Amino acid sequence: MRFVALDRPVPGTEPADDVRNLVFLANLAAQEVTGDSASSTSVERVQHRLRGSVEYDTLAYALELDPEEDYAGYLLVSTPLLEDTHVVDAEIILDAAHLPLPGEPLEPEGREVLGLLYAEAEAIAARLGRSVVQTWLLHSAEEAPGSGDWAALLRGRGYELGLSEIQGFVSVGVPEPTWPPSVRVDVVRNLAFPSPLVDGVIALYRQASIDVPTGGLDADPVDWTPGRLSAAAQRVVDTNREMVSVVLSDGEGVIGISEITRFPGSEPEVAEQGITIVAPQARGRGHGLNLKREVLRQAARALPGVRRVYTSNATGNPWMIEINRQLGWRVVSGGSGWQLRL
């Protein structure tokens, strides 16, 4: 048995076969749970992750049990570099031979493979001097977070359930919102915010990093600055993402923002919802629902072919869950975040 480190992708070269296989298996697992190919990731997206950035570094490993057989699974280890510098994020991807069907128990071989992959993630975290390992499970919408064999295996290793999510899609075909005369709406592409909006947007990003539920998972507030925002905008361009933001302002400044992104290599009709936040002083006026309506309409205009937007919410965020329900949210899966303190 050994772990094989995958080479970092080289810009301008074809993706390695191991990366393609890793993505294929990740998508197979996601589609088994959701029944929807739109829940897939893309080779391009994983390639960008493996190249790293100033905020995150990601390494990939393959588990070889027998040189004559396919890899038994893959491990992606991501390390935050600016905040949460004590955390390692571990993503486990099983070969199809070890992947249980949704709701089915793990086979002994699959349980053994999972144990080896998590043990390696924990060993890497220890070598890096990081004291916390976080990992996520995807499950059907009907399955209670924390139930099932995989969750039991994590508990047996000392992991604790920290956060549960609901995941699904909304359509871009929504009614046009009505705004009061005091509210201004700006539409911005690829984070290229006009100078008068920058300070207000940064303040909302900081607020979002505090307000978004994290449950029992360690998560530091994010120190947003103009330089960090500029760097993020450059990464959007460098990674060929397409992004649309809707910013609300009133006489006192920026009061809300919502963002949608389409990632390279993804299904053209599918985009992903980013943050939606309304400033504390402007809440309770219906801005959240109208903000989501507006960003969905703008995504339909700015991202040709987009029909659906994938969005996930913590189960402890009833405000946003109710907004998504009013938008016709179709729930396809759930997720649970787990944490181990070494």
Residue 103 near residue 140, CB atoms below 8 Å: yes
pLDDT score for 119: 98
d(CA 186, CA 243): 14
At residue 248, what are phi and psi to the nearest 5 degrees? -100, 140
At residue 254, what are phi and psi to the nearest 5 degrees? -70, 130
d(CA 144, CA 148): 9
Q: What is the CATH number of domain 173-306?
A: 3.40.630.30
CATH architecture of 2-166: 3-Layer(aba) Sandwich (3.40)
pLDDT score for 38: 72
- Does the structure show a pLDDT above 90 at 12? no
Residue 90 near residue 135, CB atoms below 8 Å: yes
How, if at all, do strands 308-314 and 56-64 pair? unpaired
Largest CA distance in the chain: 69
| Greater pLDDT, 34 or 64 | 64
d(CA 47, CA 7): 11
- Does the structure show a pLDDT above 90 at 18? yes
pLDDT single digits (tens) 148-177: 999 999 999 999 999 999 999 999 999 999
pLDDT score for 75: 98
pLDDT score for 137: 95
Residue 100 near residue 302, CB atoms below 8 Å: no
Report the share of the chain in percent with pLDDT over 70.
100
Smallest CA-to-CA distance from 264 within 8, 7, 5, 15 is with 15
**Domain locations in the chain as residue ranges:** 2-166, 173-306
pLDDT single digits (tens) 47-103: 999 998 889 999 999 999 999 999 999 999 999 999 999 999 999 999 999 998 877
Q: Is 296 exposed, middle or buried (0-12, 13-18, 19+ CB in 10 A)?
A: buried
pTM (2 decimals)?
Answer: 0.94
Q: Do domains 2-166 and 173-306 have the same CATH topology?
A: yes
Mean pLDDT, rounded, for 289-312? 96
Smallest CA-to-CA distance from 150 within 96, 71, 76, 92 is with 92
| Residue at token pair 């709406």 | 185
**Mean pLDDT lowest among 8-12, 59-63, 77-81, 210-214:** 8-12
- When pLDDT is cut at 50, 70 and 90, the band that residue 121 belongs to is very high
d(CA 58, CA 48): 9
Radius of gyration of the chain (CA): 20
d(CA 118, CA 135): 9
pLDDT score for 103: 76
The per-residue pLDDT of the chain, averaged, comes to 94
What single DSSP character describes residue 207?
H
Question: How many distinct helices (H) and strands (E) make up the chain?
Answer: 8, 12
| Residue at token pair 């995807």 | 138
Structure tokens, 96 = 């199809």
Tell me the residue type at 19. V
